[in-house]
Chain A
């Protein structure tokens, strides 16, 4: 058997790990894989062109940008901040659990860009979580403060990652659809995205439990 086409996989892995431009890496890997499998270069470029063309529906999702951009022009991000600020007064645990739910729900409804580290975590969620922890547990060591802030950032990531795939018109879902369709298994976006729901529930339960346990642990350490 000819194992050389596997070099394409090595190119993807190394190229990403070494931080080359990902588009360049992917195309190099595709060309290498095809040539090493015994096709001539023109045939591989044709295959790549056809596959790119067949998968255009993945990039169709960007047509939503004018809607989101227009809403941002009229203060969508600011309004999202006001919602987050409305959680003020809760304990650190409750605050971060509420933010986790908000981030998961908004992402599941296709608004994955409300929230995020520069827009929400740094200006709002992290300082609010820190203030709430100090209010409940008294003054905290610098390490404990760092842990609280890091937990706020972690909560944003978990909320986004395990909410966004419930929204069907998102690149990851359509990428799965494209790869499977090319292999002869046609699926619809909704068939895929409903299967993001069980993991989303697990993510909420696990991460919310950890946030609340962390809040209790800070209380014990503070006394």
Chain B
């Protein structure tokens, strides 16, 4: 049976190659960071919890001390890329499409045909495993089609990974924070307080508070990902799901999107709102945000309705 462990070995090998290439490039901070992440992927299942915690603290120390730098591995020039693009045309999109097609078509086949009875994949893990299969297939296809130098995918991947930097593990770290919140009983504490404030039994009002909390925390922090474990622990899980029996998938997915409405409204999300205003040389630093208000506010209201209807009406 194919499990997540296979994916972890694949990803771990990838991070190990990126660590080695960083070391070759004498970017020691990057090499150490990606090397530790590779160790987590390759060995994490066999290490003690304390050792895994040590890995986390070491990675955070490297990132916190500014040890990660961008890299510029050798690649093609803009002129060459222009020529390739003209020659290859829209076929360039095909390898990228192989990935979602493999994963979605594979998941449907696995769940709705006898293929599923083979028990080939770990239960409920088939989509992400098939995503891995799609990546390998797309990469193999692109290598055969484009015939790049053997190390090109690794070097190009490193260029992109180093432009993301430590943010690459932020979502995983936030999920871990969510788990620590759960362990410490944060949800029960806030749930108790919130239940006292939100009028007894009003599902709709609780949905509004949840969606508003996602948007407000996102605006303060500039990051919906960071708001999510907080609001999930505070209201989403203890009240909307635990108390009122709502549909977890809707509450999670649309709750996050309510947070994205907050992202449209805040200068704290500088990359999306302030940097483009500078790039476009707008006189008003908040010009982009101003144009987004009229979309973000009604869309937030749509999200409230979707959570209420999809998460409660259609569910119960």
Contact = CB atoms under 8 A, between A and B. Distances in A.
Interface stretch (B22-30, B93-101, B200-208): B93-101
Nearest to A152: B280
Nearest to B234: A9
Contacts of A45: 50, 53-54, 56-57
Interface in B210-235: 217, 220-226, 228-230, 232-234
A26 B173 contact: yes
Interface size class of A (residues with CB under 8 A): 35 or more
**Interface residues of chain B: helix, strand, loop or mixed (majority):** helix
B46 to A, nearest CB: 10
A77 B75 CA distance: 14
B96 A76 contact: yes
B221 A12 contact: yes
Interface in A58-97: 58-79, 82-83
B207 to A, nearest CB: 14
A182 B179 contact: yes
B119 interface: no
A49 B295 contact: no
A46 B78 CA distance: 48
Contacts of B167: 22
Interface residues of B, number: 148
Contacts, number: 467
Interface in A20-44: 21-24, 26-27, 29-30, 33-34, 36-37, 39, 42, 44
A161 B222 CA distance: 14
B174 A175 contact: yes
Nearest to B108: A190
A221 interface: no
Contacts of B303: 199, 202
A33 B180 contact: yes
Contacts of B264: 154, 157-158, 161
A58 B264 CA distance: 24
Contact of A16 (B47, B172, B226, B287): B226
Contacts of B155: 69
Contacts of A173: 253
Interface in B122-142: 124, 127-128, 131-132, 135, 138-139, 142
Contacts of A16: 220-223, 226, 268
Contacts of B41: 56, 59
A162 B306 CA distance: 14
B156 A66 contact: yes
Given A34-B184, A56-B8, A65 B256 contact: no
Given A52-B173, A62-B161, A161-B264, A78 B299 contact: no
Contacts of A74: 76, 81, 84-85, 88, 92, 146, 148
A65 B299 CA distance: 31
A168 B103 contact: yes
B287 to A, nearest CB: 4
B116 interface: no
B257 A175 contact: no
Contacts of A51: 175-180
Given A67-B135, A109-B97, A203-B295, A8 B50 contact: no
Nearest to A31: B180
Contacts of A199: 254, 257, 299, 302-303, 306
Nearest to B286: A150
Interface string B51-74: 111111101100110000000000
In the A-B complex, the 4 residue pairs with the closest CB atoms: A69-B156, A49-B53, A75-B85, A178-B175
Given A58-B172, A70-B157, 19 more contacts: A8-B177, A13-B220, A21-B63, A23-B63, A29-B177, A37-B183, A37-B184, A49-B54, A69-B153, A72-B156, A74-B81, A75-B84, A122-B276, A154-B292, A175-B174, A179-B174, A195-B249, A198-B302, A206-B298
